[in-house]
C-alpha cells in the first residue's frame, strides 16, 4: 500500500518537474524497467566518491561541466545520480520508485559504501537521507536545502482524497517509507547541513530539524545569510565549497 500511494501518477505530475537534457558518456544504471543516465568522474579509484542527488527541476547535465572538477580539487570522485524521467533517463518520476532506486544506484557506484559520501540537494535530500538507512556505513552525509518533512511537501501539491486515500493513509505511507526523523536519528556518521535563512521554497526550519534529529556526534549546521533556495551555491560559492572541502578532508 505505501508504494502504491507514493507512486500515484498525480503525485508524480504535480511534485516533479523533469526535463530532457543530453550529455556525453552517461553512466547507465538499470533499475528494473527504467535506465538512469547518471554521470561518473574518477580521480582516484581508492578515493572518496561523492554521490550527488540534485534538486527538482534540475538534471545531471546541469552539473557535469563543473561539479566533478570542484570535487576533484579535494581528491574525490564524483557520481551524479539521476531520477526516472529526468535528463536522458527512461521511466516516469515517482516518490516510491525514487526510494526503490537508491540501492541500484549505490550498488552501481565503483566505490564501496564506506568510501561514499552522500550529497543531497533539495528534493535530492530525500533519497540521500533514505540511503543512509540502507547503507549506514557510508563515510558521510551532506544535505543542502534539504527536506525534513516529506508529508508537508506532498500536501502542498495534492489532496489525499484526490489519490483515493484518507489523510491518515497518506501519512502512514510516508511514515513507513520516508520517515526522515527516524532515519536521521539512527545515523551516527559525519554530517554537514547547509541552508539559507532566506529559502522561500523549503523553509530553513527543515535544515535545522535535519541537523537536530541526527544521532551523529560529528555534525555541523551552516545557515547562510545570503542567497535563496536556488542561488545558495552560487552566491556563497567560496564559503560553500570551503565547508564542503573541509568536511571531505575530515573523512579521508
Domain range annotation of the chain = 2-251
pLDDT for the residue numbered 252: 79
The C-alpha torsion from 29 through 37 and 118 to 239, rounded to 10°, is 160
Do residues 79 and 40 touch, judged by C-beta distance below 8 A? yes
Neighbouring residues of 162: CB distance < 8 A, sequence distance ≥ 6: 10
Position 78 scores a pLDDT of 98
pLDDT of residue 2: 67
Ranges of residues in the chain with a pLDDT under 70 are 1-2
Q: Class of 2-251 per CATH?
A: alpha beta
Q: Residue 82's pLDDT is what?
A: 98
> What pTM does this model have?
0.97
What confidence score (pLDDT) does residue 97 get?
Answer: 96
Contacts of 59 (CB under 8 A, 6+ apart): 18, 19, 20, 21, 82, 86, 87
pLDDT for 211 equals: 98
Amino acid at each position: 500500500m505505501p508504494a502504491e500511494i507514493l507512486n500515484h501518477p498525480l503525485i508524480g505530475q504535480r511534485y516533479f518537474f523533469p526535463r530532457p537534457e543530453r550529455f556525453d558518456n552517461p553512466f547507465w544504471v538499470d533499475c528494473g524497467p527504467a535506465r538512469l543516465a547518471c554521470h561518473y568522474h574518477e580521480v582516484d579509484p581508492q578515493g572518496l566518491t561523492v554521490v550527488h542527488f540534485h534538486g527538482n527541476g534540475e538534471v545531471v547535465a546541469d552539473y557535469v561541466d563543473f561539479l566533478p572538477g570542484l570535487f576533484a580539487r579535494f581528491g574525490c570522485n564524483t557520481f551524479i545520480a539521476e531520477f526516472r524521467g529526468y535528463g536522458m533517463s527512461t521511466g516516469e518520476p515517482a516518490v516510491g520508485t525514487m526510494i526503490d532506486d537508491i540501492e541500484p544506484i549505490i550498488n552501481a557506484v565503483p566505490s564501496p559504501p564506506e568510501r561514499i559520501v552522500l550529497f543531497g540537494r533539495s528534493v535530492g535530500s530525500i533519497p540521500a537521507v533514505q540511503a543512509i538507512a540502507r547503507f549506514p556505513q557510508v563515510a558521510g552525509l551532506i544535505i543542502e536545502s534539504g527536506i525534513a518533512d516529506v508529508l508537508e511537501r506532498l500536501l502542498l501539491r495534492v489532496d489525499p482524497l484526490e489519490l483515493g486515500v484518507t489523510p491518515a493513509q497518506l501519512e502512514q505511507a510516508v511514515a513507513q517509507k520516508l520517515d526522515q526523523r527516524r532515519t536521521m536519528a539512527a545515523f551516527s556518521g559525519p554530517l554537514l547541513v547547509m541552508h539559507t535563512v532566506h529559502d522561500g521554497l523549503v523553509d530553513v526550519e527543515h535544515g535545522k530539524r535535519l541537523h537536530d534529529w541526527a544521532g551523529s556526534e560529528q555534525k555541523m549546521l551552516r545557515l547562510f545569510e545570503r542567497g535563496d533556495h536556488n542561488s545558495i551555491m552560487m552566491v556563497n560559492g567560496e564559503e560553500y565549497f570551503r565547508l564542503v572541502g573541509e568536511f571531505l578532508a575530515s573523512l579521508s
